Every structure is written in C-alpha cells, then in structure tokens.
Structure 1
Amino acid sequence: MDGDLRSLIDMAEAARDERMIKSALNRFANSCGFERFAYLQTEGAEIRTFNSYPEEWQDIYLGSRYFLIDPVVTEAKRRMEMFSWTADDWPARGASELRRFRDQAIEHGIRSGVTIPVEGSFGSTMMLTFASSEKKADRSILQDGQKAIQAVIAIHYRLKIIAAATIVAPKGLLSPREAMCVMWAAKGKSAPETAMLTGINPRTVQHYLDSARRKLEAATVAQLVAIAKDHGLV
C-alpha cells in the first residue's frame, strides 16, 4: 500500500478543489477496504472537518458536539501515533451520552477504523480516519507510518490553500498578506504582536486588517475573523 499512499499524497498536492481531494481519499479508502474517510482538525473547543460520512451523521456529530467525547479523537490526542480502533471496545457502561454516541456511530456505518493523528501548530491536532462498518479494521494496510503522516499534512495544507484561494469577497480576494494578518488575528494576536511575528510594520498590519475588513464587509476585527472562519480561510 506504500505506492497507494504515495499516489494519495501526489493527488492531494495536485488537487485544484475539494472535490478532487475527496475523490482521491475515497479512492484510497476503498482500495484499502474502507468505506469512509474523515479529516478532522481540533483546536481547543473548535473543530473543522472534511469527510465522506453520511450527512445525517455529520449533523448529529456536530450538533451534539460529539467531538468533545469521541473516543477516537481522545485517543488520537493522547497517543499521537497511528492506531486502529473498534466501537465494540468502547465501554458499554458509563455516561449515557457516550453510549448513545457509540450506538449512533454504529447505526451510521462507523464501527471500526484506522486513525492517523498529527500534531499541528498552536495546540491543534490534525487526524485522518478511514472507517468501516465491519467489526474490526485491518491496520496492516497502512504499514508506512511516515508516509501516512505526510499524507495528513499534504491534505491539511492543500485544504487551507484551496479555502484561501476560493474565498470570494465583495471587492475581490484577500491578498496573501491580508490573509496572513487575519490568520494571526484569529490566533488572538494584536496588530503589534502580529508585526513582531511577521516582521511587518504595525501600521502596515493594521492597514491589511482594515483592507480585509472592507473586502469582507466586517465592522470589527472579531467579525472579520468570524467571517474568515465561516469561509474556511483560517
């Protein structure tokens, strides 16, 4: 499967839109005997996801904030290495919410899988999961852990690049410098702090933020960050 992983990395880096990334991931998952995939990034209490799970399950998962109790997410953050899992191993007793999560996951065809976690910046965690409705997943199909990590990183950055390139504002796209300043603002950095991190003059940083606010029709920096997040820019 090393060749398939190499192909997945190449296809992710060459993808021009999310549809192409999803096609590459679906093809790889199916070639390995899995039915679904899910890329997920967590940062504090926030989550971003890109997956092929049933839409009904996506609505339930996000609406119920199941990512806060999901055993796969918890294990990924704890271990930070590739691992296989099965819902049948999750405790049958304990919090009713966890039992409900397990039962609903199995009901929607997510019973076992392999997850590849990668530590991101600012305390974030990225993870790529291949899931099956079968009782037990075969981890042996993903032998090369280093290539698996490369695949997660390639998908992560390609999704960010595509999101930044497709954010359409009333007066055009954000420039690379505007997008960078918005990204640091989303991390809670002030204009002077962003200036120190980027080597740009503080007044110039503020100019980029003001320009981005006008393009996205935001009244404040906080609203600018919120709009940028809604569009997948940060």
Structure 2
Amino acid sequence: MDGDLRSLIDMTDAAHDERMIKSALKTFSHACGFERFAYLQTEGLEVRTFNSYPEEWQGVYLESHYSRIDPVVTEAKRRMEMFSWTADNWPARRSSQLKCFREQAIGYGIRSGVTIPVEGSFGSTMMLTFASSAQAADVSKLQDAQKAIQAVLAIHYRLKIIAATTIVAPKRLLSSREAVCLMWATKGKHAPEIAMLTGINPRTVQHYLDKARRKLEAATVPQLVAIAKDRGLV
C-alpha cells in the first residue's frame, strides 16, 4: 500500500484540474477497498469540501451544517492523527439531530472508514476520509501515517494552485498600474512610498488600490493583499 500512497501523491502533483485529482482519489479508494472519499477543510464555521459522495447527500450535509456535529470531524479535530471509525459507535442518543445525521449517513452508504486530519494555518483543519458502506471498513492497507499526511498536504496545495490559476472574470482583471501598486503593497509599502517608487501621484496610487479592492471584493488593503496572494495574482 506504500506504493499506492506514493502513486496518489505523484498523480495529485501532476494533476491539471480537480477532475484529475478526483480520478486519482477514486483509484486509490477502490484499491484500498473503500467506495467513497471526502476531502474537507474547516476554518471556524466555514467548510470547503471536495468529495465523491452522492450529490444529494452533499447538499443535505452543507445545508444542514452537519460539519458542526459530524462525529468524524469532531474526532479529527480532537485527535489530529489518523483513525478509523464506524457509524455504529456514534453516540446517536445524545440528540435528535445527531441521530438523524447518523441514519442519513448510513442511508447514503457512509457507515465506516478512516480519516487523516492535518492541522492547517490560521486555525484551519484539513482532513481526508475514505468511507465504506460496510459495518466495519478494512483499514489494514492504510497504515503509513506519514505518507497519508503527505497525501493530504499534496491534495490541499494542488487544489489551491488549481484555484489560483482558474481564469478570472474579465471585469476582475487588474490593470497594469493596479497590479504594480498591489505588488508594492504586498511588500509592505504604503501609498506615499509606492508613489515615490513608481513616480505616480499618491492620490492616484490610492485610486488604483481602491479599484483593485473593489475588483477583488476586499474591505482593506491588507485583505486585498491576502486575497491576491491566495489567488496567485502576485
């Protein structure tokens, strides 16, 4: 299974789009005896997911904010190490919502599995889950915790790179002057300093930064810098 994990990491790194990553994860899942996979990133109450679960279940999960009560997510954040689980052991009697979640998950073929959590930046947590409809999943083929963590990180950063290189809507493209002013802002320069460095009037520099903020929907220049870096614009 060590070779399969290595192959998953290599295929992820070579992926040009989400479809290729999903294909690599499906191949790996089936090789390990699982039927589904789910990559989940949580930051506060915000949830991002990339998975092969039934679309109807994905909608129910997100609309019902199930990530807040999901025993797998809760356990992943608590343990921060690879672990196996089964829905039969979830404490369904604690609340009607948790009981409903358990019954729905099993109904959609998610009854057991293994989850690999990894601590991210700014309080975020990434986790990769392989799930089965069996009462107890066979996790014997997924034992190399270190390589499993490498796989989660490879998927996380590849998805970020793909998102950053996605075509930006024309109305949100920065002009050359806006991009230059933004680049200096990412280096910690304020409008008067940027004006001296570029030979542009300070008020005009501020105008370019304001236009860039509106295009990228940022409230402040620091937020503009963060968004630009996250999207690979600078």
TM-score normalised by L of structure 1: 0.80
1:163 maps to which residue? 163
Conserved 8 A contact 1:167-1:173: no
The ranges of structure 1 where at least 4 consecutive aligned residues each deviate by more than 6 angstroms after the TM superposition are 205-208
Identical aligned residues as a percent: 75
User: Is 1:221–2:219 an aligned residue pair?
Assistant: yes
Alpha-carbon separation, structure 1, partners of 2:114 and 2:82: 7
1:168 Cα deviation (Å)? 1.5
The secondary structure found in structure 2 opposite 1:143 is: coil
Q: Is the 8 A contact 1:38 1:129 kept in 2?
A: yes
For the Cα contact (< 8 Å) 1:18–1:159, is it kept in 2? Answer: yes
- Residues 207 and 112 of structure 1: CA distance in aligned 2, closer, same or farther (over 3 Å): farther
Following the alignment from structure 2 to structure 1, what is the Cα–Cα distance between the partners of residues 83 and 206? 44
Partner of 1:132: 132
Output one character per residue of 1:136-178: Cα deviation in whole Å (capped at 9) or x when no partner: 1122211111000000000000001101100422246579x97
Greater C-alpha radius of gyration: 2
Paired residue secondary structure (1:221): coil
Aligned partner of 1:202 in structure 2 is 190
CA RMSD of aligned residues (A): 2.9
Q: 1:96 to 1:209 in 2, by over 3 A?
A: farther
Q: Which amino acid aligns with 2:84?
A: S
Say which SS state the counterpart of residue 29 (structure 2) adopts. Answer: helix
Q: Unaligned regions of 5+ residues in structure 2, if any? A: 195-204
> Structure 1: which 5+ residue stretches go unaligned?
182-194
Seen in structure 2, the aligned counterparts of structure 1 residues 55 and 211 have a Cα distance that, compared at 3 Å, is: same
Aligned-pair distance for 1:202? 3.1
Checking the alignment, whether the CA contact within 8 Å between 1:113 and 1:129 is kept in structure 2 is yes
Whether 2:92 is the aligned partner of 1:57: answer no
How many residues end up aligned between the 2 structures? 209
Q: Structure 1 residues 53, 145: CA separation in 2 closer, same or farther (over 3 Å shift)? A: same
